Amino acid sequence: YRDGDEMIELDPNPGEASGYARALNNDGYLLVTGSDSLWRARVTNDAGVVYETGDRTQLWTEYCSSYDLNEAGDACWAVAGSSPVYGYRWVDGDANGEVDPGETTELLSPWGGNRTAAQGINLLGQVCGYAKNLLGKSRGFLWTDENTNNVAEVSEFVELTTDYPAANIFPHCVNDFGQ
């Protein structure tokens, strides 16, 4: 849908019967997940023209819960349906629209649990989400790749929920100020 136009049906991911869209940025990129893959698709160009099928980047090849897309087109998500579940971040470092080696970061739980979900990404590439601790509680986090090596080190995670140790906390978004 765009400024009063009719709804436009988008084709599902190649080879899939269905899919759903989760995030759209101002440049017309959409995060789309299907039964066994995750794609970033350009749905409109600067003139608002709907994308052509070839303008897609496959980010992952398993079933994912897609979560967020920033204004640069970088994405974060969680692989769903498996145990353990981990979050991921992709930053298109060379801006070629392809997933190249070293551009995807796996976010393991810094507190020893078996689940991490990346929920939001800002323009700085910071990711917020939650991770289980050893007691099974979900703790909110903000992760910043402080040394820009695309490796999620425990020291780079900031726990957002220290005031409520018994609560499960699920942050979903982070602004460009890291809030």
DSSP assignment of 53-113 equals: TT-EEEEESS-EEEEEE-TTS-EEEEE-SSSSB-EEEE--TT-SSS--TT-EEEE--TTEE
The pLDDT-based confidence of 90 (bands split at 50, 70, 90) is: very high
32 phi, psi to nearest 5 deg: -125, 130
pLDDT for position 8: 63
Question: pLDDT tens across 91-107, in order?
Answer: 999 988 889 999 999 99
Average pLDDT, the chain: 83
pLDDT at residue 1 in the model = 57
Taking only the tens place, the pLDDT of each residue in 4-34 is 666 666 665 666 767 777 888 888 788 888 7
For residue 46, pLDDT over 90 is answered with no
If we measure between CA atoms, which residue out of 84, 66, 80 comes closest to residue 121?
66
User: Exposure of 135 by Cβ count < 10 A (0-12 exposed, 13-18 middle, 19+ buried)?
Assistant: exposed
Which value, in Å, is the radius of gyration of the alpha carbons in the chain?
17
Query: pLDDT tens digit string along 125-159?
Result: 999 999 999 988 899 999 999 999 999 999 999 99
Query: Long-range contacts for 37-46 (Cβ within 8 Å, ≥24 apart)?
Result: 37/13, 37/61, 37/62, 37/63, 37/64, 38/64, 38/66, 38/75, 38/77, 39/13, 40/69, 40/73, 40/75, 41/10, 43/10, 44/2
Cis peptide before 14 (omega within 30 of 0): no
Q: Is 115 helix (H, G, I), strand (E, B) or coil?
A: strand
* The pairing of beta strand 56-60 with beta strand 19-24: unpaired
Task: Confirm if 58 and 99 have CB atoms less than 8 A apart.
Answer: yes
**Cα 115 to Cα 19: distance, rounded to the nearest angstrom:** 24
User: What pLDDT, on a 0 to 100 scale, did the predictor assign at position 144?
Assistant: 97
54 has a pLDDT exceeding 60: no
Please give the structure tokens belonging to residue 17: 């019967």
